[in-house]
Structure formats: structure tokens, C-alpha cells
């Protein structure tokens, strides 16, 4: 798959809440995920670690009030999109999370994802 094809498919799957399917079908086994400094998630290396991080995040969510994913912008082996999430976390209340997501593609698979957002201080 080209970078554009990977980008289009990832956005399509994320828009329909199929995050696990996106990881299973589009990510390399040695992919890396990087969160902003100060985030409780840090860095995950390898697809199993990325999937565990996603599962942990999902288990923290009490309710999703809304989510939006922009169309991807592609340049060479990278693409970016924005994601907006309106969620209530268990014991942490409702939060708006707006992030820029940057992905690197190699051999038709996502090999790196990096997220940029304002880290909220603990309540």
C-alpha cells in the first residue's frame, strides 16, 4: 500500500471507531508509538505494546460524547491528521482532547505514530 492508501484506510477505520482493526491491519510488528512529555502513556515499542496501551486507554473511558478525524495530509512517507475527542474518563471527568497525529509509513505499514496535544494536569 502507498502512504496515501494507508492514510485513507487509517482515517476511515478511526472515523468508525475501529482502532484495533487499524492497528491489526496497518501497523508493522515493530511499530513505535510516542505520546507527549508528561503524558501517562509515554512511548510504546512493538505492536503488542501499542495494542496494550490502546486497551488501557479504552478501559479508562466511561463515555464517548463525540469524535472527529480530519482528512489526512500526505507528504512522502509521512501523513498527519487531527483527532478531536470529547470523552468522560472514569473518575477524571469530561475532557476535550484535540491532537495532531503524525504517522510514518514504510513498506506499506505504519512504523511510527506520534501524537501532539496539551497534557492536562491531574485533577
Range of the domain at 63: 3-116
Query: Is position 47 within any domain?
Result: yes
* pLDDT attached to residue 1: 95
Query: Is position 32 within any domain?
Result: yes
Query: Is position 121 within any domain?
Result: no
User: How far is it, in rounded angstroms, from Cα 80 to Cα 119?
Assistant: 19
Q: List, in sequence order, every residue forming a beta bridge with 96; answer none if it has no partner.
A: 86
* pLDDT attached to residue 32: 98
CATH at 49? 3.10.450.50
Please report the DSSP string for 46-105 in residue order. SHHHHHHHHHHHHHHEEEEEEEEEPPPEEETTEEEEEEEEEEEETTTEEEEEEEEEEEEE
Chain segment 25-81, per-residue pLDDT in tens: 999 999 999 999 988 788 999 999 999 999 998 898 999 999 999 999 999 999 999
Query: Is position 50 within any domain?
Result: yes
Number of domain units in the chain:
1
Query: Is position 123 within any domain?
Result: no
Going by pLDDT thresholds of 50, 70 and 90, the confidence category of residue 122 is: low
Query: Is position 122 within any domain?
Result: no
Mean pLDDT over 5-23 rounds to: 96
* pLDDT attached to residue 10: 98
Query: Is position 58 within any domain?
Result: yes
Amino acid at each position: 500500500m502507498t502512504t496515501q492508501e494507508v492514510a485513507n484506510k487509517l482515517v476511515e477505520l478511526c472515523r468508525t471507531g475501529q482502532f484495533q482493526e487499524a492497528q491489526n491491519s496497518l501497523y508493522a510488528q515493530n511499530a513505535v508509538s510516542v505520546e507527549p512529555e508528561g503524558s501517562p502513556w509515554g512511548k510504546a515499542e512493538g505492536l503488542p505494546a501499542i495494542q496494550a496501551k490502546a486497551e488501557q486507554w479504552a478501559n479508562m473511558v466511561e463515555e464517548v460524547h463525540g469524535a472527529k478525524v480530519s482528512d489526512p495530509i500526505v507528504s512522502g512517507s509521512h501523513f498527519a491528521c487531527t483527532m478531536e475527542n470529547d470523552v468522560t474518563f472514569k473518575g477524571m471527568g469530561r475532557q476535550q482532547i484535540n491532537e495532531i497525529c503524525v504517522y510514518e509509513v514504510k513498506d506499506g505499514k505504519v512504523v511510527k505514530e506520534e501524537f501532539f496535544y496539551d497534557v492536562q494536569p491531574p485533577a
